[in-house]
Amino acid sequence: MLILGGTSDLASRLLLPGLGRLLTEQPDRRIRLIGSGRQDWDDEQWTDTVREAFDIVEATGPAVDHALDDTRYLSADVSAPEDLEKLFEASTGIPALYVALPPAVTAEAVEALKEVELPDGTVLAMEKPFGTDRQNAAELNAMLARLLPEEQVFRVDHFLGTSTVLNVLGLRFTNRLFEPLWNRDHISHVEIVYDEELGLEGRAGYYDGTGAMVDMLQSHLMQVMALVTMETPPDRGGQRAASREIPGRPVGPAVG
């Protein structure tokens, strides 16, 4: 797993703890984690960051230990094809490239990837915000289509992956008490409120270029509103496939 933007707040606060939880639940899994960013970190500083993120979710077990022992950090300019090639050379197996970068930098990274010979089966995960407007997002999609098959590209919104948000669909469409009442005849208005307790947390540069409106409103809260107000999906087959139908766990929606 290669993380572009590995030194970001998103990676340390959400992405890495999520990975730690996954490795705890799947102790037989083996993954080589490679972080990358503009900062001139060394492997020790990166490993400490990963360990602190894993500690947030109390991640333990052989898969966690292996990831900590084998993780590396490589400073890279994501707009430079030669730097991206070094990241892939350091990887083993089929790489999953997680792009946790601002929209403008993401476009530069995708453009640079066109000059790189990607290993067979490479998976690309794109973190939101995806583009800066509708036209820009369409252009970015066109670039991705020339880079990898669609089934190897995932557009991810970490906010929509939280259990509270995922449960909205179950509450709306499978709960026999709420489903018949969830309509305009019984609901006068909807308020979607998200009180973030964090400050900038080192994200000043990101917010200066992107803005809280793009980061929170159109990327997260409006999509939550869509889950709350949309019509019943005609087909949930794709959602079942994406959920992998974990035994004992209700089928949830595909995210990304």
Residues 150 and 172 in one domain: no
pLDDT by residue (tens digit) across 30-73? 999 999 998 899 999 999 999 999 999 999 999 999 999 999 99
- H runs (alpha helix) in the chain: 9-10, 16-25, 43-56, 62-70, 81-90, 103-113, 134-147, 163-173, 204-210, 212, 222-229, 237-243
Average pLDDT over residues 201-217: 63
**In the chain, % of residues over pLDDT 90:** 49
Tokens standing for residue 61? 């077990």
* CATH number of residue 92's parent domain: 3.40.50.720
Annotated catalytic residue, options 66, 186, 189, 220: 220
Q: How many helices (H) and strands (E) does the chain have?
A: 12, 6
Average pLDDT over residues 118-141: 88
Average pLDDT over residues 162-172: 85
Residues 7 and 87 in one domain: yes
Residues 194 and 207 in one domain: yes
Task: Determine, yes or no, domain membership for 251.
Answer: no
- Residue 120: pLDDT above 70? yes
Domains of the chain: total: 2
Contact criterion met (CB below 8 Å) for 116 and 85: yes
Nearest to 156 by CA among 180, 179, 126, 195: 126
Confidence label for 208 from pLDDT (cuts 50, 70 and 90): low
Q: Say whether 189 is catalytic.
A: no
Average pLDDT over residues 206-213: 62
Give the pLDDT confidence score for residue 46 in this predicted structure: 95
Average pLDDT over residues 201-224: 68
Nearest to 77 by CA among 85, 89, 69: 85
- Residue 254: pLDDT above 70? no
Got the DSSP string for 52-86?
HHHHHTT--SHHHHHHHHH-EEEE--TT-HHHHHH
- Residue 66 backbone zone (phi > 0: left; psi -120 to 50: alpha; other: beta): alpha
Confidence label for 158 from pLDDT (cuts 50, 70 and 90): confident
Give the pLDDT confidence score for residue 211 in this predicted structure: 64
**Domain around 217:** 160-243
Residues 6+ apart with CB under 8 A from 121: 94, 152
